[in-house]
Amino acid sequence: MKLLVCIKQILDPEIPVRDFSIDREKLEADSANANQVTNIFCENALETALQLRDSVGESSITVICFGRESAEDSLRKALAMKADEACLVMNDLNHTPDSATTAHVLASAIESLGSFDLIFTGRESGDWGNGQTGAYLAEELKVPYLPFVDDIKQTDKGFEVRRQTESGWERYGIPASSVVTITNSDHNLPRIPKTRDIMMSHRKTITRVSFEDLKIRKDELNPQSDSVRPVKLFVPEKESACEFIEGENLNAKIDQLADKIMEIRSTL
């Protein structure tokens, strides 16, 4: 069985407020003072794929990333987690393309890599948080699509998956070659790689794919050609006007807290 996991490298979502700033020209976060990390949902996706491989055996996992040079770190980490192959689709554009373009590039790259029994993406990324790449990818590849998946089993017909819904979950049967987006659950926290695997990951080759390789014309990719582009990006002002409840003792403080809660409740 061949599994493909699409991962994305993003600005560390835990970046302290002080280190977060905006590149006004590119209209994206300035990466000078920030770490780049693998998007957590992509790690959940990889973990889900690894668990599927663990349960069925005899499978290979390819990890693909459309990103900058630095994304090699994310791919190496995926290899350390025991993905079999890694492919970096080099983004040497001056801007970060939107979800539709990203999916288009990924789809071309995936077609060049061959066919896969299941394609994984994270449900959304911790930077722009669009949550659309998986859907666009399925449309590009013209394959079935199911988002918010947190559990996958192999069946005779394809796969049985669990999808999270607003109020619970649903189980679906999906055919092979579908695209699923993975969401977090208590059993797909990314595994910790073994040290030897980390060391080995540095000896593995990462396949590099350029726009030329995919016959995509770079000059046609620019913010104006994207379907969505940022026109403004700013750090919102937050005013703090919290009233800290003070009191002689804890009991008095809790009394006041109860009063305030009842006050709001009475307006309902």
Partner 1 sequence: MNPSDATREVLWNISNSWIMYALLLPTLLIAGNGILLRIKRWKKGRPVDRLDRPLERLQNVWRHAVLQRRTMRNRYAGIFHAFIFWGFITLTLATTVVFLHHDFGWQIMQGRFYLYFQSLFVDLLGLLALIGVGMAAWRRAFLQPRFLVQSSEATWILVLAFIILGTGFLLEGWRIAATDDPWGNWSPVGSLIATFSIHWMSVETMQFFHWGVWWFHLLLVFGFIAWAPYTKMLHPLTATLNIYAANLKPIGASLKTIDFESEESFGINRLDHFTWKDLMDLDACTECGRCTAVCPAATAGKSLSPRDIILDLREKSRISNKRETTFSDPIIGTAPSLSTESLWQCTSCAACVESCPVSIEQFPKIIDMRRFQVMEEAVFPEPMQQALASIESRGHPFSGSRFSRLDWTEGLNIPEIKDRPDAEVLVWTGCGGSLVERNQKSSRALTKILDRAGISYAILGREEKCTGDPARRMGNEFLFQELAKQNIQTFEKYKVKTVVTSCAHCFNTFRNEYPEQGGQFEVFHHSEYLKRLLDQGKLPMKSSSDRKITLHDPCYLSRHNHMTEDARSLLQQTSSQPLIELERNRQNSFCCGGGGGLSFTEEPSEQRVNRQRADEILKTDVDTVAVACPFCTTMLEDGINACKGSRDIKVKELSELILESLETEE
Partner 2 sequence: MSETSGNGSDILCVLSSNEWDRSAEGLVGAGRLLSDKTGGKLIAVTLGEWQDSALKQLGARCHQVRVGQTQVSVSGGIESMLDYLVKLAEEIQPASILFGNGTVEEEISPRLAFRLGGSSIGDAQALTISNNRIQVTRSVYGGKATAVMELQKSPAVVWIRSRAFPPAGPLPQSGSFETTVIQETSPESIELLQHHEDASEGVSLEEATMIVSGGRGLGGPEPFEDLKALAATIGAEMAASRAACDAGWVPHSWQVGQTGKKVTPELYLAVAMSGSSQHMMGITDARNIAAVNTDPDAPIFKHCRFGIVEDYRNVIGPLTEKLKSRKK
Q: Which residues contact 241 (CB under 8 A, 6 or more apart)?
A: none
Tell me the closest approach of the beta carbon of residue 16 to partner 1, in angstroms: 4
Per-residue interface string for the shown chain with partner 2, residues 241-260, x marking contact by CB under 8 A: xxxxx----xx-xxx-xxxx
CA distance 1 to 15: 38
Q: Which residues contact 46 (CB under 8 A, 6 or more apart)?
A: 5, 7, 61, 63, 78, 81, 83, 120, 190
Question: Could you say which residues in the range 175-194 bind partner 1, by CB under 8 A?
Answer: 191-194
CA distance 207 to 167: 42
**Of 167, 160, 106, 161, residue with least CA distance to 138:** 106
Per-residue interface string for the shown chain with partner 1, residues 138-177, x marking contact by CB under 8 A: ----------------------------------------
Beta carbon nearer to partner 1, 35 or 225: 35
- Which residue is associated with the tokens 């290899």? 79
Among 29, 37, 71, 221, binds partner 1 (CB under 8 A): 37
Q: Alpha carbon of 109 to those of 8, 39, 63: distances in Å?
A: 15, 20, 12
From the list partner 1, partner 2, none, partner contacted by residue 35 (C-beta under 5 to 8 A by kind): partner 1
**Of 261, 95, 78, 107, residue with least CA distance to 179:** 107
Among 58, 205, 238, 248, binds partner 2 (CB under 8 A): 238
Q: Confirm or reject binding of residue 25 to partner 2 (CB under 8 A).
A: no
First to last CA, the chain: 56
Q: Confirm or reject binding of residue 16 to partner 1 (CB under 8 A).
A: yes
Using DSSP's 3-state secondary structure scheme, residue 197 falls into helix
Q: Which residues pair with 11 in a beta bridge?
A: 36
Token pair in block for residue 148: 């918010």
Query: By CB under 8 A, how many residues form the interface with partner 1?
Result: 17
Question: Could you say which residues in the range 78-137 bind partner 2, by CB under 8 A?
Answer: 99-100, 123-124, 126-132, 135-136
Tell me the closest approach of the beta carbon of residue 10 to partner 1, in angstroms: 11
From the list partner 1, partner 2, none, partner contacted by residue 136 (C-beta under 5 to 8 A by kind): partner 2
Tell me the closest approach of the beta carbon of residue 18 to partner 1, in angstroms: 4
Tell me the closest approach of the beta carbon of residue 11 to partner 2, in angstroms: 7
From the list partner 2, partner 1, none, partner contacted by residue 193 (C-beta under 5 to 8 A by kind): partner 1
Beta carbon nearer to partner 2, 24 or 208: 24
Cβ(159)–Cβ(152) below 8 Å: yes
**Of 217, 181, 5, 207, residue with least CA distance to 105:** 217
The binding site for partner 1 (CB under 8 A) comprises: 12, 14, 16-19, 33, 35, 37, 191-196, 198-199
